[in-house]
């Protein structure tokens, strides 16, 4: 008897945009007893049953592409030997998922323990003496940063229960998988607002049109430095707990968010690169794009909503001096004001709505070429959890594939267990590994200098 297909919804605009992106997360776990394959397989079976996005794949319905539930349990789990973490990330960033059968996610376990794992303060490593590196690969169409951190947390909690031989509810669902209908409703509301407010419409349309013909200073300054076959490169840097706390406290005292300050630091580090590349000016218009969680505009409790709920990228331009001369926090406040204004008014929603009022012009390109992109999901400790009696979560890193997109690099930032973590992913077609290292090191050098 053929299993009845559970159709979810027609492919959304958000899902279509993120179809070229794959994601890889790296979890460092410590356990009291040795972690066995059967522990992980039990855990992944529970995850599959309890998390709706992990059961999703695609199918054709009445000539259209729809998201649907898989008709049978399907797990993609593998123990990997003799590979570095970088090699596993590289594999996951180009991973081929069976879109029409599923699953659209996979898990890889390194058979060798990490040589020098990040250990949070207060972790009893004598009790939790078995350390492992686990990789979670996902297709971006079914999930986003917020959902992924929750999935990591559910994995940690279920694995802790499995290893502790505690009962697990096999029916309870750990979230609600929803389409981007709420985003589309917000877009319709913004279109209506622009129909009623001609000045608002003019301002937003003018801003979009002002991008025409302007490009990334990084791309225009550094030509021919990339590789012919693009790949996604990655650097990871973790700020120690003491410096992280000092940075957070300083941001608060200066009246800026950690995100704004980090964006300002990245802008200053980009200027250093440009100067090294021979572009010497008093000030530079540094262009950055920002990933926003659409749930912030939904209202009410959104904590259970899973899926890919990211707004179109939010562009901003920071007039950055070549020499900061002890005035970094003044600059950071100017960056903060610009970012907050855009966030508060829902700038990405306005920009999408404005397209309804722009006359078709085949020669106009509204693409915003940025010098860097920022994706900051904040403090994820409560989402990933620190673990339990049997399993401790020590560290988490997230990356996103860039080599299929015309991007330079993305700063993936979060804080976990008191430490700020950066994964700098870059597209090797536009920047090389030496530039990426200079950029990454420059951010943290300036950070230490402004504490």
pLDDT value of residue 97: 96
pLDDT tens string 2-11: 578 999 999 9
For residue 360, pLDDT over 80 is answered with: no
By mean pLDDT, which of 132-141, 180-189, 365-374 is the weakest?
365-374
What are the residues whose beta carbons fall under 8 Å from the beta carbon of 194, sequence distance 6 or more? 200, 201, 204, 350, 353, 354, 356, 357
pLDDT value of residue 27: 98
Q: Are 67 and 58 in contact (CB under 8 A)?
A: yes
The DSSP H or E segment spanning 410 is strand 409-416
Confidence class for position 367, pLDDT limits 50, 70, 90: confident
Q: What is the mean pLDDT of residues 421-444?
A: 97
Confidence class for position 362, pLDDT limits 50, 70, 90: low
pLDDT tens string 81-138: 999 999 999 999 999 999 999 999 999 999 999 988 889 988 899 999 999 999 999 9
Q: What is the mean pLDDT of residues 44-54?
A: 97
pLDDT value of residue 368: 81
- According to the 3-state scheme, what is the secondary structure of 281-338? CCEEEEEEEECCEHHHHCCCCCCCEECCCECCCEEEEEEEECCCCCCHHHHHHHHHHH
CA distance 37 to 84: 20
Q: What is the mean pLDDT of residues 179-196?
A: 94
pLDDT value of residue 1: 46
Domains recognised in the chain with CATH numbers: 7-177 (3.30.559.10), 214-302+309-345+360-380+402-449 (3.30.559.30)
Whether cis (ω within 30° of 0) applies to the bond prior to 103 is yes
pLDDT value of residue 349: 96
pLDDT tens string 209-233: 888 777 899 999 999 999 999 999 9
pLDDT tens string 273-327: 999 999 999 999 999 999 999 999 999 999 999 999 999 999 999 999 999 989 9
């Amino acid at each position: 008897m053929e299993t009845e297909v559970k159709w979810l919804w027609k492919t959304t605009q958000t899902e279509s945009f993120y179809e070229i992106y794959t994601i890889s997360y790296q979890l460092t776990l410590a356990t009291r007893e040795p972690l066995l394959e059967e522990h992980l397989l039990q855990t992944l079976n529970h995850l599959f049953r309890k998390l709706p996005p992990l059961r999703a794949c695609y199918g054709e319905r009445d000539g259209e592409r729809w998201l649907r539930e898989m008709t049978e349990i399907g797990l993609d789990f593998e123990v990997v030997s003799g590979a570095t973490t970088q090699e596993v990330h590289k594999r996951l960033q180009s991973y081929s998922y069976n879109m029409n059968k599923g699953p659209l996610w996979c898990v890889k376990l390194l058979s060798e323990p990490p040589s020098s794992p990040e250990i949070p303060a207060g972790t009893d490593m004598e009790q939790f003496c078995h350390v492992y590196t686990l990789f979670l690969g996902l297709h971006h169409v079914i999930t986003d940063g917020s959902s992924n951190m929750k999935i990591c947390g559910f994995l940690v909690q279920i694995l802790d229960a499995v290893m502790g031989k505690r009962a697990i509810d096999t029916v309870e669902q750990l979230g609600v998988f929803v389409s981007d209908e709420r985003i589309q409703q917000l877009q319709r509301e913004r279109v209506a607002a622009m129909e009623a407010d001609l000045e608002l419409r003019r301002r937003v349309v003018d801003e979009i049109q002002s991008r025409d013909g302007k490009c990334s200073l990084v791309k225009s300054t550094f030509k021919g430095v990339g590789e012919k076959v693009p790949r996604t490169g990655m650097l990871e840097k973790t700020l120690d707990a003491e410096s992280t706390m000092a940075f957070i406290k300083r941001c608060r005292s200066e009246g800026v968010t950690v995100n704004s300050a980090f964006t300002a630091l990245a802008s200053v580090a980009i200027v250093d690169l440009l100067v090294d590349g021979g572009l010497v000016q008093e000030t530079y218009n540094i262009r950055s794009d920002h990933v926003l969680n659409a749930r912030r505009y939904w209202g009410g409790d959104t904590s259970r909503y899973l899926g890919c709920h990211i707004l179109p990228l939010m562009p901003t331009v920071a007039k950055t001096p070549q020499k900061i001369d002890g005035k970094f926090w003044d600059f950071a406040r100017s960056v903060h004001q610009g970012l907050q204004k855009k966030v508060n008014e829902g700038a990405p929603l306005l920009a999408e709505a404005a397209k309804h009022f722009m006359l078709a012009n085949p020669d106009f390109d509204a693409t915003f070429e940025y010098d860097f992109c920022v994706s900051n999901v904040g403090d994820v400790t409560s989402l990933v959890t620190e673990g339990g009696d049997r399993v401790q979560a020590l560290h988490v890193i997230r990356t996103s594939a860039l080599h299929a997109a015309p991007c330079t690099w993305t700063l993936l930032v979060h804080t976990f267990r008191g430490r700020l973590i950066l994964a700098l992913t870059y597209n090797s077609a536009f920047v090389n590994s030496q530039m990426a290292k200079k950029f990454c090191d420059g951010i943290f050098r300036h950070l230490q200098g402004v504490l």
